[in-house]
Amino acid sequence: MSKAARTGRRQSGAAMDHVEADGAAMDHAVGHGDALAQREPAPISRRRLIGTAGAAGAAGLIAGGAAGAGVAEAVGTEPTALTTVGSAYIPFEGTRQAGIVQPAQARGHLVAFDLVKGAGRKDAAALLRRWSDAVRTMTAPDRPSAPAAYDDQVAYDAGPASLTVTFGFGRSFFGRTGLDSALPKALAPLPDFAGDRLDAARSNGDLWVQIGADDALVAFHALRVLQKAARDTATARWQMSGFNRTPGTTPRPMTGRNLMGQIDGTNNPKPSDPDFEQRVFVPAHGSPGWMADGSYAVVRRIRMLLDDWDHLTVARQERVIGRRKSDGAPLSGGTEFTPVDLGKFTADGSPAIAGDAHVRVAAAASNGGAAMLRRAFSYHDGIGSDGTPDAGLLFVAWQADPLKGFVPVQRKLDGGDGLSRFLRHESSALFAVPGGAGAGEYVGQRLLEG
Amino acid sequence: MSKAARTGRRQSGAAMDHVEADGAAMDHAVGHGDALAQREPAPISRRRLIGTAGAAGAAGLIAGGAAGAGVAEAVGTEPTALTTVGSAYIPFEGTRQAGIVQPAQARGHLVAFDLVKGAGRKDAAALLRRWSDAVRTMTAPDRPSAPAAYDDQVAYDAGPASLTVTFGFGRSFFGRTGLDSALPKALAPLPDFAGDRLDAARSNGDLWVQIGADDALVAFHALRVLQKAARDTATARWQMSGFNRTPGTTPRPMTGRNLMGQIDGTNNPKPSDPDFEQRVFVPAHGSPGWMADGSYAVVRRIRMLLDDWDHLTVARQERVIGRRKSDGAPLSGGTEFTPVDLGKFTADGSPAIAGDAHVRVAAAASNGGAAMLRRAFSYHDGIGSDGTPDAGLLFVAWQADPLKGFVPVQRKLDGGDGLSRFLRHESSALFAVPGGAGAGEYVGQRLLEG
């Protein structure tokens, strides 16, 4: 049965239209090997449908943006079978790496590796090639039926399930590999923030791997394959696992909720924004050259003090955030995507959005236009040593320059955000994420062979 | 947008056919609020489809049995939209508790609670009533739009997503509540096994809660609601979280794989087996009376020594298990569901299934017919203190009597199973899981008010 199932998917995979979207910000598209849909006349073209859904999904939905993205528009016009969860794929190769503009998947792993003693530039290059080749195989719609020797077969029957793997380099990598001259200025250590309670053992690292997939076994499998491929060259320094909504849990794509129950990510930059590109990605002719089409990822483990938060009434929580909890509408009126009116006053003369409300302090208007693309996973690692939930957000923010993205925003939040009393930043890291690999290339090749 | 989405689902929920299957073993069925399917003529009846799929799903697929169950038969005959993941529901009320015969969901939490000092029978009864009422609300297809005061709204936009919550009582509960006379004989402590490396802090407990849902936020939400409802009466003793395949990741329902990559659960008892009922459930007139239609759950955290396992060749792994890794076929020949031929020899005269192969030692034929219904979640909690993956199986086995289910099987495995070198039982618990609650009742009422 397993063999037949595999054959079935491989055939539909072979017949699959390998979609590439046209949108400037989308150099990776999501494909679907849905045999059912292909048998039936589709009222709107598959190509257009997927492109649209992909763009909507990439439109900055943090934490749960994956829910139903890529299929919701199909409901009622082009029935999409559940098997699309497994067969959906995101190509590994491209100008940019995958796992930045696509919606965050249902399951994610963030792992930092340190090079072992004695490993240098050549070893790192060989590792990045092994890693890239493994990811190229695992993300392909038509995976080989005979797994490689290092494959534990945990994902043997599954499709790629929108697997993405994204690689980055930490500041310490450059010294250890003799590449100091290639160190980007933007990798300067992040400043200290007053509210930080950072655990050094879970911060930073030479190399970073971000794994996302809509199936937990597919994500686990990718993690194990990469860990095994790292052996002798690098060992895991820290590892964190998180989640977002399972595709299809909400009736249509929605901005996700975080574990405080708040709709989170409404104001995320959208690929349709005129300055999206320049905010999120290093230009093709940017500096250093090896970072062309790359981005910088700020990774923070942000513990939510959920027991304290839940003691507040919903009305009080809404004042802390500045949005209605049920639907995310700003307290200045309208619906979720109505621009926040920071100047609005209520009938009793007080500001509709409080002075220390999160949306006011985080607003681009309050930060000279600073913005970043947030793409997070929630985490929940049981009960912490203090008896409260060890839960919160694996915050990942993408920007062309951290000094114009995360740093100024966090500086303001650190001082004036009413929400910060309910958050604790427990770890922090910054990684340079180079552009993607083309055919036959590996990620980081321009750095390591430059 | 959120409001509209909610209204949309509530309407489809109201129109939903609340299915009850006829199968003897199925007193909970899965419902789907799929408006799309209702608009279109269905070639096979929805009732039959769901009943069939439910029964197939309940047919003992451990670890990943949820994948696609309940929908796979629909592909090609009755298109099912992705939104069924969220709108699928399993009724809380019934003769038996939910979460035993249904396929294990994509996300699970196992939590043990201990009563706080001073809390007695009355407090426990009030807690079980609060818990039952909360679960009744959370599992309903048409959830109230105004969340209760204790609700953090994390699952506000989502459907029930096949949420089940199952409650059990540990041996220590009876002494603490003055109910010693109601203690079932079957709750006698499990014997020690030579291979056990048990952590007392993560073993046993007064009360047990098993949560499963196909969406991680829905499962998290249920956990938080129940933890908050427990306040002042009971506190969490231990908590473990796990996962199975996301629905739709494989092209059709398949027996799941564990984190060793092995197909796991092929030989699980099936509801169609003539002795399924008597093996898994306490009879309606069984003893003690309050356990009528209940079951006993053995819960073991089984760490898999994955680095050691992965050092074996696939051929060697297959000899340890006694099945082919790719498709689960026994090494004695055939396909996955071909009965294992323990007497078969290969051409060179050696047994096709090795003497210490897992399938031989675990086979019912080797254990006087002992069998249990296994319904597990995989777990992966990052890197253990020894540097290897803290990963394995949250093993949950259901039986009418542990002395005729888990105990004799584990006794044999403990001594003779070649697989045991790659496993480490790190925690253990045994819980009495009473029958389900009817309308207006709470789980455990017959014990606490008996």
Position A333 scores a pLDDT of 97
Mean pLDDT of chain A: 83
Position A145 scores a pLDDT of 59
Q: Report d(CA A258, CA A265) in Å as an integer.
A: 9
Q: Give the mean pLDDT of B332-347.
A: 95
> Among residues B264, B293, B401, B417, which one is catalytic?
B264
What phi and psi values does residue B114 have, to the nearest 5 degrees? -115, 140
CA distance B239 to chain A (A): 6
Residue B144 — very low, low, confident or very high, per pLDDT cuts 50/70/90? low
Position B368 scores a pLDDT of 77
Q: Report d(CA B427, CA B269) in Å as an integer.
A: 25
Least confident of A64-73, A169-178, A249-258, B232-241: A64-73
Mean pLDDT of chain B: 83
Position B14 scores a pLDDT of 28
Q: Which residue of A has its CA nearest to B257?
A: A154
Residue A369 — very low, low, confident or very high, per pLDDT cuts 50/70/90? confident
CA distance A279 to chain B (A): 28
Q: Give the mean pLDDT of B51-67.
A: 27
Position A428 scores a pLDDT of 98
Residue A439, amino acid = A
DSSP B167: E
Tell me the pLDDT tens digit for each residue of A293-306.
999 999 999 999 99
Q: Give the mean pLDDT of B283-306.
A: 97
Distance of CA A167 to the CA centre of its chain: 12
DSSP A201: G
Query: Which carries the bigger pLDDT value, residue A248 or residue A218?
Result: A218
Query: Which carries the bigger pLDDT value, residue B246 or residue A15?
Result: B246
Position A167 scores a pLDDT of 99
Query: Which carries the bigger pLDDT value, residue A84 or residue A440?
Result: A440
Q: Which residues of B touch A265 (CB under 8 A)?
A: none
Closest by CA to A90, choosing from A12, A19, A9, is A19
Residue B23 pLDDT > 60, yes or no? no
Alpha carbon distance, N-terminus to C-terminus of chain A: 49
Q: Which residues pair with B107 in a beta bridge?
A: B213, B243
Domain boundaries, chain A: 93-450
Position A34 scores a pLDDT of 34
Of all helices (H) and strands (E), which one includes residue B150? none
Residue B299 — very low, low, confident or very high, per pLDDT cuts 50/70/90? very high
Residue B31 — very low, low, confident or very high, per pLDDT cuts 50/70/90? low
Position B79 scores a pLDDT of 33
Tokens for A149, please give them: 């020797």
Q: Under an 8 A CB cutoff, do A85 and B249 touch?
A: yes
Q: Give the mean pLDDT of B288-317.
A: 97
Tokens for B67, please give them: 């994948």
Task: Identify the residue among B151, B224, B249 best suited for mutation to test binding to A, counting A beta carbons within 10 A and taking the highest.
Answer: B249
Tell me the pLDDT tens digit for each residue of A224-258.
999 999 989 999 999 999 999 999 898 888 899 99
What phi and psi values does residue B72 have, to the nearest 5 degrees? -60, -40
Catalytic residue numbers of A read 264
CA distance B179 to chain A (A): 29
Query: Which carries the bigger pLDDT value, residue B185 or residue A142?
Result: B185
Q: Which residues of B touch A64 (CB under 8 A)?
A: 217
Least confident of B357-371, B413-427, B428-442: B357-371
Q: Which residue of A has its CA nearest to B258?
A: A154
Q: Give the mean pLDDT of A138-145.
A: 81
Closest by CA to B314, choosing from A5, A155, A147, is A147
Catalytic residue status for B264: yes
Name, of B29-43, B412-426, B429-443, the range with top average pLDDT. Answer: B429-443
Residue A147, amino acid = P
CA distance A272 to chain B (A): 20
Tell me the pLDDT tens digit for each residue of A194-204.
989 999 999 99
Q: Under an 8 A CB cutoff, do A380 and B84 touch?
A: no
What phi and psi values does residue B189 have, to the nearest 5 degrees? -55, 140
User: How high is the ipTM of this complex?
Assistant: 0.84
Position A147 scores a pLDDT of 61
Q: Which residue of A has its CA nearest to B39?
A: A76
Position B364 scores a pLDDT of 76
Question: In this structure, are strands B373-374 and B207-213 parallel, antiparallel, or unpaired?
Answer: unpaired
Radius of gyration for the alpha carbons in chain A, expressed in angstroms and rounded: 22
**How many residues are there in chain B?**
450
Tell me the pLDDT tens digit for each residue of A33-88.
333 233 233 232 222 222 222 322 322 222 222 322 222 222 222 333 445 899 99
Q: Give the mean pLDDT of B9-20.
A: 29
Residue A155 pLDDT > 70, yes or no? yes
Position A31 scores a pLDDT of 55
Tell me the pLDDT tens digit for each residue of B384-409.
989 899 999 999 999 999 999 999 99
Residue A386 pLDDT > 80, yes or no? yes
Would residue A396 be called left, alpha or beta, if left means φ above 0 and alpha means ψ between -120 and 50 degrees? beta
Position A59 scores a pLDDT of 24
Q: Under an 8 A CB cutoff, do A382 and B241 touch?
A: yes
Position A150 scores a pLDDT of 67
Asked whether A165 and A210 are in contact (CB, 8 A), the reply is: yes
Q: Under an 8 A CB cutoff, do B248 and A218 touch?
A: no
Least confident of A138-142, A177-181, B356-360: A138-142
Would residue B205 be called left, alpha or beta, if left means φ above 0 and alpha means ψ between -120 and 50 degrees? left
Nearest CB to A154: which of B86, B241, B259? B259
Classify B11 as helix, strand or coil. Answer: helix
Residue B11 pLDDT > 70, yes or no? no
Position B148 scores a pLDDT of 72
Query: Which carries the bigger pLDDT value, residue B23 or residue B349?
Result: B349
Position B146 scores a pLDDT of 62
